[in-house]
A and B are shown apart, each in its own frame.
Chain A
Amino acid sequence: MASASSADTAGPPAGPSYLPATVQGAVKILVTGPFGVGKTTLVGALSEIAPLRTEEVMTSAGAEVDDLTGRPDKTTTTVAMDFGRITLNPQLALYLFGTPGQQRFWPLWDDLSRGALGAIALVDTRRLDESFDVLGQLEEQRIPFAVAVNVFPDTPEHPEDDLRAALDLLPEVPILRCDARDRQAAYDVLIDFVDHLLSTAALELQR
Chain B
Amino acid sequence: MSGPVRPYVITGGRSRPGRPALAIESLVSAVPAAALDPDLLPGDTLNREHQRILTLCRDLLSVAEIAAYLGLPVSVVRVLVDDLWDLGAVQVRPPAPQADLLPTTLLEEVLVGLRQLR
User: Which residue numbers of A lie inside 8 Å of B, CB to CB?
Assistant: 16, 18-21, 23-28, 52-57, 59, 78, 83, 85-86, 88-89, 92-95, 97, 111-112, 114-115, 117, 184, 187-188, 190-191, 194-195, 197-198, 201-202, 205
Query: Are A25 and B27 interface neighbours, CB within 8 A?
Result: yes
Q: Which of B24, B74, B104 contacts A201 (CB 8 A)?
A: B104
Provide 13 A-B residue pairs closer than 8 Å at the C-beta atoms, listed in order of the A residue: A19-B59, A25-B94, A27-B25, A27-B95, A28-B95, A52-B65, A54-B73, A57-B7, A88-B109, A89-B116, A115-B23, A187-B117, A188-B118
Residues of chain B within 8 A of A55, CB atoms compared: 1-2, 67, 71, 73
Given A26-B62, A117-B110, A190-B114, 7 more contacts at CB 8 Å? A19-B59, A53-B68, A54-B67, A89-B113, A92-B110, A117-B107, A191-B118
B108 at the interface (CB under 8 A from A): yes
* A49 CA to B15 CA, complexed, in Å: 30
4 A-B pairs closest in CB distance: A88-B113, A25-B96, A18-B59, A52-B68
**Roughly how many angstroms separate A195 CA and B110 CA in the complex, as a whole number?**
9
Residues of B within 8 A of A54 (CB): 64, 67-68, 73-74
In the complex, are the beta carbons of B61 and A16 less than 8 A apart? yes
- Interchain CB contact under 8 A, A88 and B117: yes
